[in-house]
Homo-oligomer: A and B are copies of this chain.
Amino acid sequence: MQMLGLCDMLLDAATNRPLSDAAPAQLEKSAAARRLILRSREPISSVHVICRGWAATSEYLRNGRRQILPFALPGDLVCASLFADVSRYNVEAVTRVNYRSFDRAALCVATRTRPDLVDLITRLAASQMERIAELAVDLGRRSAAQRVARLILSLMERLEKSGMVRDQAFNFPLRQTHIADALGLTTPYVNQVLNTFRRKGLISFEKRSLTVLDAPRLRAMID
């Protein structure tokens, strides 16, 4: 009973469906913007799924620099919590974030009776891995402008899948610091790149809402 409930909830959460009646609302936790959802070195006992808002998984280096790994959007697993027993990363809320936590041991058990759950977790893990690998390629071999273009386009694609894009526009809560730290750049330079994009009529940006004005040309910049 309980396992099935948990399993369905994970399915709901990961497919970004609203809470089913079976899943009482109080199970959803919340974190204000900039709060940590998961701390580096913290032991992990459950897997988190983002329901609302954006989160950033990141590592801080001793010299104070930060690298952000792919952002977690609604419907995403928090990858830092997927396999490791102790988190190697911080996961911090970019906006206010609602999320649900699923006990890992219970998930493991549920796995035995629900093959679809295994599929789901496998698929989610696979797309996590793919996104991190793509990030590595970007960081290693693409210019600043290409990285920014790719970030914008990939966020748009991901949001489109859950119907969060209208008329090429979507809510874009990232600060330039987030962009810089996600793409291995500095804020002043990100600023410069974004302004170039605006000047060229590729994107526009107002009130935390980003519009992609010319997706084809933006895509053409990559490679």
List A residues at the B interface (Cβ < 8 Å): 59, 61-63, 65-67, 69, 79, 82-84, 88-89, 122-123, 125-126, 128-130, 132-133, 135-137, 139-142, 181, 183-184, 223
- The reply to whether B130 and A129 form a contact with Cβ atoms under 8 Å apart is no
Quote the shortest CB–CB distance from A113 to chain B (angstroms): 11
Beyond A67-B140, A183-B140, whether A83 also contacts B122 by CB under 8 A is yes
Beyond A62-B223, A141-B67, whether A136 also contacts B132 by CB under 8 A is yes
Quote the shortest CB–CB distance from A147 to chain B (angstroms): 10
Quote the shortest CB–CB distance from A185 to chain B (angstroms): 9
- The reply to whether B136 and A67 form a contact with Cβ atoms under 8 Å apart is yes
How many copies of this chain are found per oligomer? 2
Chain B residues whose C-beta falls within 8 Å of the C-beta of A130 in the assembled complex? 84, 88
- The reply to whether B136 and A69 form a contact with Cβ atoms under 8 Å apart is yes
Quote the shortest CB–CB distance from A89 to chain B (angstroms): 8
Of chain B, the residue at the smallest CB distance from A83 is B126
List 10 tightest A-B contacts by C-beta distance, closest first. Answer: A140-B184, A83-B126, A139-B139, A62-B223, A67-B140, A67-B137, A65-B141, A136-B136, A67-B141, A139-B140
Partner of A63, one of B84, B122, B223: B223
Chain B residues whose C-beta falls within 8 Å of the C-beta of A183 in the assembled complex? 140
Task: Give the docked Cα–Cα distance between A157 and B10 (Å).
Answer: 37
Chain B residues whose C-beta falls within 8 Å of the C-beta of A122 in the assembled complex? 83
